[in-house]
Amino acid sequence: MEQLNIGIVGSQFAAGLHAESYKRFPQVKMQAVAALDNLREFSSKYNIPNTYKDYNEMFEKENINLLSVCVPNFLHKKIVIAAAEAGIKNIICEKPIATNISDAQAMIDVCKKNNVRLMYAEDWLFAPAIVRAKEILDEGGIGKLLYIKAKESHQGSHSIYAQKKEYCGGGTMIHLGIHPVAFVSFLAGCDVQEVMGMATNGGETNLKHHDYTGEDWAAALITMENGVKAFVEANYITHGGMDDKIEIYGTDGNIHIDLTKGSPIDVYSRHGYGYAIEKTDFTHGWTKPAVDEFMSLGYVKELEHFIDCAINNKEPNLGTKGEDGLKALEVVLAIYKSAESGKLVKLK
Ligand SMILES: NC(=O)c1ccc[n+]([C@@H]2O[C@H](COP(=O)([O-])OP(=O)(O)OC[C@H]3O[C@@H](n4cnc5c(N)ncnc54)[C@H](O)[C@@H]3O)[C@@H](O)[C@H]2O)c1
């Protein structure tokens, strides 16, 4: 297969991340998009010839080789299964893979039965800074891995679906914390053994977002199967743009990564300018605008990898199979269980 026809379900934020990445690759053609809204703006921005309100109709009428599923979390199962049963052979599902274990397992099973490659979109694993840090760790540059600290935070989701537990599957830990959770397994090279979680519980228990039904603050202490310790955090109380920070400690050194605010550019603007980094609401004074956020957060390399898997019939890398999405979800749900019970939860 020399050129891939791309289909996208969803037309807002995550769909834009995928489309911005796809447009860099000559071997793909964005052929069709299905969504409930924003179809005209999205399709004209990315030169997509065909638009649909009904994704089933898109699956039926279009010859799609690679599908991006960029819809709210609770719809991942329904749409991935419909696509697999409609004969689409390569499906990328945004994070989290689903809102519960049985949905995630059903997606994996149906894809397997229909010989479909289900790819889990964990962009952190492709962020150039993370890839470089992993190389240094693997080379022995900081000795033996001991402890990882990782978080993603911002001031609250733009998506109304992410603000409601019934659509999201939880709050900030499932929606943002799923990135650091997947990352610690990737870096430690093994699964999570046990977690001790703490979280607000939505509504009035939240620190700030009393209208969100999921938690707006959550953290967990983790022990990996190989004894490595980790601390992961996610919150919606962070101003000043998305804050993704990582610390990696080894027996002979440390690595610190600032994924979102580590730009080499410093700008001082008296009256502000268009855009600095994701979720920044203010560009006056001193700011550090991203140079190429689609690249630095991993989306471009992630989609390059999935395109390569689809064209060359390869299995996705460790950390980006449907099964990896399920494992990350199991950890997040264990963190919730621990936060509710106040007890350590063992996964193994
Ligand atoms: N990897 C990342 O960094 C990242 C970032 C943002 C979002 N996401 C994930 O991407 C997914 C979408 O998030 P978003 O922020 O774009 O959400 P959003 O609320 O901004 O957009 C949701 C989109 O889904 C479409 N949609 C809803 N119901 C539909 C239906 N029945 N049929 C077809 N389309 C439907 C809407 O029309 C809209 O275009 C979520 O799973 C989210 O977790 C991932």
Looking at the structure, do residues 210 and 332 belong to the same domain, yes or no?
yes
Boundary-marking domain end, from 91, 122, 153:
122
Does 309 reside within a domain?
Answer: no
Judge whether 64 lies within some domain. yes
**Residue 84 shares a structural domain with residue 231:** no
177, 335 contact by CB (below 8 A): yes
Residue 32 forms part of a structural domain:
yes
Q: Where are the alpha helices (DSSP H) in 244-345?
A: 293-296, 299-312, 322-341
Q: Could you say which of 61, 91, 122 is where a domain stops?
A: 122
Verify whether ligand 1 is closer than 6 Å to residue 80 (CB atom).
no
Binding site membership of 9 for ligand 1 (Cβ less than 6 Å): yes
Within a domain: residue 49?
yes
Residue-wise pLDDT tens digits, 21-35: 999 999 999 999 999
Contact 84, 163 (CB under 8 A): no
User: Is 54's C-beta closer than 6 angstroms to any atom of ligand 1?
Assistant: no
Output the domain CATH number for residue 66.
3.40.50.720
The number of distinct structural domains making up the chain is 2
Same domain, 18 and 85: yes
Tell me the mean pLDDT in the region 300-323. Answer: 96
β-strand partners of 346: 194
- Atom 6, ligand 1: which residue's CA is nearest? 14
Tell me: do 276 and 335 sit in the same domain: yes
The two tokens of residue 162 are: 């992410």
Distances (CA, A) of 174 to 46, 97, 217, 315, 325: 30, 10, 11, 26, 11
**Which of ligand 1's atoms lies nearest the C-alpha of 36?**
37
Q: How confident is the model at residue 270 (pLDDT cuts 50, 70, 90)?
A: very high
Residues 100, 139: one domain? no
Does 26 sit behind a cis peptide bond, omega within 30 degrees of 0 on the bond before it? no
Distance CA 209, CA 334 (A): 23
Domain identity same for 181 and 294: yes
Which of 62, 90, 122 corresponds to the end of one domain?
122
pLDDT at 230: 98
User: Does residue 245 lie within any of the structural domains?
Assistant: yes
The finding on whether 51 has its CB within 6 A of some atom of ligand 1 is no
For residue 95 and ligand 1, the question of a CB distance below 6 A is answered with yes
Query: CB–CB of 322/305 below 8 Å?
Result: no
Predicted local confidence at residue 347, as pLDDT: 97
Coil vs helix vs strand at 104: helix
Mean pLDDT of 254-258: 98
Q: Which of 211, 204, 186 is nearest to 331 (CA)?
A: 186
Q: Is residue 74 part of a domain?
A: yes
Instruction: Give percent of the chain above pLDDT 90.
Output: 97
Mean pLDDT across the chain, nearest whole number?
Answer: 97
Could you tell me the CATH number of the domain that includes residue 162? Answer: 3.30.360.10
- Describe the crossing of helices 178-188 and 128-138 by its angle, rounded to 10 degrees: 30
Q: Parallel, antiparallel, or unpaired for β 217-224 and 229-235?
A: antiparallel
Of 13, 45, 183, 329, the one to substitute when testing ligand 1's pocket (max ligand atoms within 8 A of C-beta) is 13
Say what percent of the chain tops pLDDT 70. Answer: 99
The mean pLDDT value for 135-163 works out to 97
CA distance 202 to 257: 30
Mean pLDDT for 288-304 is 97
Shared-domain flag, residues 110 and 204? no
Shared domain for 155 and 261, answered yes or no, is yes
Convert the pLDDT of each residue in 313-322 to its tens digit.
999 998 999 9
Q: Which amino acid is at 3?
A: Q
Pairing assessment for the beta strands 50-52 and 28-34 based on DSSP bridges: parallel
pLDDT for 1 equals: 63
The residues near 95 (Cβ < 8 Å, ≥ 6 apart) are: 120, 121, 122, 178, 179, 182, 325, 328
The pTM (predicted TM-score) of the whole model is 0.97
Angle subtended at Cα 153 by Cα 261 and Cα 258, rounded to the nearest 5 degrees: 30
215 and 254, same domain (yes or no): yes
Average pLDDT, stretch 182-209?
A: 98
**What pLDDT is recorded for position 318?**
83
What is the best residue among 20, 39, 71 to mutate for testing ligand 1's pocket, by most ligand atoms within 8 Å of CB? 71
Residues 136 and 24 reside in one and the same domain: no
CA of 159 to the centre of ligand 1 (A): 8
pLDDT at 348 over 90: no
Ligand 1 atom with least separation from CA of 42: 39
pLDDT for res 320: 97
**39 and 169: one domain?**
no
Residues 165, 157 contacting (CB under 8 angstroms): no
Binding site membership of 181 for ligand 1 (Cβ less than 6 Å): no
Q: What's the domain range around 101?
A: 4-122
Is a pLDDT exceeding 90 seen at residue 2?
A: no
Pick from 48, 117, 43: nearest CA to 80 = 117
CA 14 to centroid of ligand 1, rounded, Å: 6
Specify whether the backbone of 45 is left (phi greater than 0), alpha (psi in -120 to 50) or beta: alpha
Cα 228 to middle of ligand 1, angstroms: 34
Asked if residues 82 and 59 have their Cβ atoms less than 8 Å apart, the reply is yes
- Number of neighbours of residue 289 by Cβ within 10 angstroms: 18
pLDDT grade, residue 3 (50/70/90)? Answer: confident
**Concatenated DSSP letters for 67-83?**
EEE-S-GGGHHHHHHHH
pLDDT (average), residues 104-123: 98
70 CB near ligand 1 (under 6 Å): yes
Residues 113 and 135 in one domain: no
In a domain, residue 313? The reply is no
Q: How far apart are CA 346 and CA 332, in angstroms?
A: 12
Q: Give the pLDDT score at 281.
A: 86
pLDDT, tens digit, for every residue of 36-90? 999 999 999 999 999 999 999 999 999 999 999 999 999 999 999 999 999 999 9
Please indicate whether residue 159, judged by its CB atom, sits closer than 6 Å to ligand 1.
Answer: yes
Q: C-alpha dihedral over 52, 41, 283, 237, to 10 degrees?
A: -20
Q: Among 70, 107, 173, 236, which is best to mutate for testing ligand 1, by the most ligand atoms less than 8 A from CB?
A: 70
- Residue 58 domain flag: yes
